[in-house]
Amino acid sequence: MELICEDFHFYNNGVYKTISNLSPNGWFTDLKKVEPSIRIFGTKEQIEEALDTYIELTGMNLDESHDFKPEPKGSYWYEHRVRRFGEQQAIEQNKVVEKKLKEYKERYNKLSNNKALITTI
């Protein structure tokens, strides 16, 4: 049973939220587009079931998905981060991802319902 983690980003589908900000002229209210994103941790089968259920319950349309994992040295995304931010930043990002995956695994192991762990991102 291999545990994996994936990020899912959905189209807006016309969902907006109200935001209020203070400006020199006083408070103003505006609308901001909501672009929902979730992260699912579990087995491949659990992730597929959770994603299907989420889409069915929310009516959202999937835009894109990505694996959430440390990038091995030499991979496209690791080298992209090195070019953009430097080697140290690429190493630090992998440490952050590894820490998050460890946290997700601990939470997943506490679940007794044999379901995937879903969180917002």
Q: What angle do CA 45, 49, 53 make, to 5 degrees?
A: 170
pLDDT of 114 reads: 82
The tens place of each residue's pLDDT in the chain, 121 residues long, gives 899 999 999 987 766 677 777 767 777 777 676 678 999 999 999 999 999 999 998 888 899 999 999 999 999 999 999 999 999 999 999 999 999 999 999 999 998 788 999 998 8
Amino acid at 60: M
pTM over 0.85, yes/no: no
**Inter-helix orientation angle 87-110/76-85, to 10°:** 130
Could you give the percent of the chain with pLDDT greater than 70?
92
